[in-house]
Amino acid sequence: MGLDIDVHGLKLTYDTHPVLDGTEFSVKRGDLVALLGANGAGKSTLLRCISRVLQPTGGQIILDGRELQQFKTKEAARLMAVVPQETTADFDFTVEDIVMMGRFPYLRRFQKEDLGDREIVSRAMEMTGVSHLADRSIATLSGGEKQRVIMARAVSQQPEVLLLDEPTANLDIGYQSMLLELASRLNREQGVTVIAAIHDINLAVHHFNRYILLSGGRVLAAGRAEEVITPENIQKSYGVPASTYRHPLHGVLQVSVVRGPRPRELPGGGASAHVIGGGEEALPVLEILSQKGCRLSVGPVSAQDSGCRFAHFHSLPVIIVPPFTSMNNEHRAEHFRLMREADAVIVPPIPFGEGNLPIFDQVEVVLKEGKPVYIIDFDGIEERDYSGRAGVLMQRMVDEGAVVLDSVEDLPEAICGVRNRDGGEEGER
């Protein structure tokens, strides 16, 4: 089951504009391949050439050693099934009729489908979650429902190659996962070679094991995720700065576009803050202040903390200490410097233990020097205090002028207020 596909020097031109420009790659029998690339990179055009909808102006497509054009129409239809990007419904066919069309390549002229064909169609509708729509007219369905029906038709075709052109475009998150998992299942259980044009890179890496990245009608990179999905390649293909990282829950490679500077006219824009600690509890603080255009510094944190990863991603100043250790003199000096340079110091709703209490002795020092300090969720300190002494320390800082905020959402306005009280931009002080 499955076919080898070799593409050699493929070219296709629209109105003198080259869409495919010498495209070359190979897909091995049983591969599960995601075609990636920006709009206009040639993904859909490439799939249409492989499915024989378009005739390339140059190059070759070879299926298992045979040139694609050597296959008769019915023979090619038994080997390849296609789920196009858009589905039109010009005739009032029922869903079951549409799915049954996947069996036509196996029927002789005027031959009626038999019990075996009907069982295959029934199973295909069940696998794609459209059995309950069997008697409905295709014209009455939503875009997402139509897409699942066309996927069912492709499944009933029992192909050796499955071509998917943006198959999840009209689907909600649940059906996106279901459809791509179905493609993975066909690949895994039946050895079907799958090639899919996918817009969402982070969705693709969950379901595919090989990747082809297109740019300007050429293959920019091909191979495993680590080889293809790199910041350099994303910049070249999509034209945006990006960062790649391993998701902390499932370990899958992920891509995040690096945002540019936020406008200073946003609430908090231009202000600066030092955020204490860097576990998951600090992430909402860092995210909301970053979105509002605040300049941030972070720490102390360990290299494994979420806040440390956030700081590296956004190129923020950060103090990194080894896990389960206290700050040394160098760390302490750097911590004082970052807090004193910031417009405010933020204490997120982090857990308190013997290891991090000395940090707040320093916070209390800058508080007494006049630095605004904000403590988020003061009422929850007791539940997060594993030292038995944090509540007393935090209460003392409140008595000395630290401001208590009920939630993270109150931060931007508070920071903006500090900035305005201090005279606006640094040059105006």
DSSP 192-260: -EEEEE-S-HHHHHHH-SEEEEEETTEEEEEESHHHHS-HHHHHHHHSS-EEEEE-TTT--EEEEEPP-
The C-alpha angle 342, 345, 346, rounded to 5 degrees, equals 135
Burial class (CB in 10 A: 0-12, 13-18, 19+), 402: buried
What pLDDT, on a 0 to 100 scale, did the predictor assign at position 134? Answer: 95
Mean pLDDT on 375-396: 89
What pLDDT, on a 0 to 100 scale, did the predictor assign at position 90? Answer: 64
429 vs 346, residue with greater confidence: 346
- Computed over every residue of the chain, the mean pLDDT equals 87
| Range from 112-116, 386-390, 418-422 carrying the lowest mean pLDDT | 418-422
Domains parsed from the chain with CATH numbers? 5-257 (3.40.50.300), 272-428 (3.40.50.720)
pLDDT digits (tens, 9 = 90+) for 172-226: 888 888 889 999 999 999 999 999 999 999 999 999 999 999 998 999 999 999 9
Dihedral over alpha carbons 265, 270, 273, 278 (to 10 degrees): 70
The b-or-e profile of 51-75 (16+ CB within 10 A means b, else e) is: bbebebeebebbbeeeebeebeeee
Question: Residue 416 is encoded by which pair of tokens?
Answer: 């903006």
Query: At 264, phi and psi to the nearest 5?
Result: -70, -20
Mean pLDDT on 310-338: 86
Element (H, E) at 165: strand 161-165
What pLDDT, on a 0 to 100 scale, did the predictor assign at position 250? Answer: 77
What pLDDT, on a 0 to 100 scale, did the predictor assign at position 420? Answer: 55
| Range from 43-47, 121-125, 198-202, 423-427 carrying the lowest mean pLDDT | 423-427
Mean pLDDT on 389-410: 91
What pLDDT, on a 0 to 100 scale, did the predictor assign at position 263? Answer: 39
Split at pLDDT 50, 70, 90, the class of 418 is low
Mean pLDDT on 32-50: 94
pLDDT digits (tens, 9 = 90+) for 231-289: 999 999 998 888 888 776 777 888 888 665 443 434 445 689 999 987 788 888 988 88
Question: How many Cβ atoms from other residues are within 10 Å of residue 24's Cβ?
Answer: 13
269: CB partners within 8 A, 6+ apart: 262, 263, 292, 293, 294, 416
On whether the CB atoms of residues 371 and 363 are closer than 8 A, the answer is no
- Judged against a pLDDT cut of 70, whether residue 421 lies above it is answered with no
Of these ranges, 27-31, 141-145, 169-173, the one predicted with the greatest mean pLDDT is: 27-31
What pLDDT, on a 0 to 100 scale, did the predictor assign at position 261? Answer: 47
Split at pLDDT 50, 70, 90, the class of 161 is very high
325 vs 428, residue with greater confidence: 325
Mean pLDDT on 354-363: 86
pLDDT digits (tens, 9 = 90+) for 76-107: 999 999 998 877 766 789 999 999 999 999 99
- Judged against a pLDDT cut of 90, whether residue 344 lies above it is answered with yes
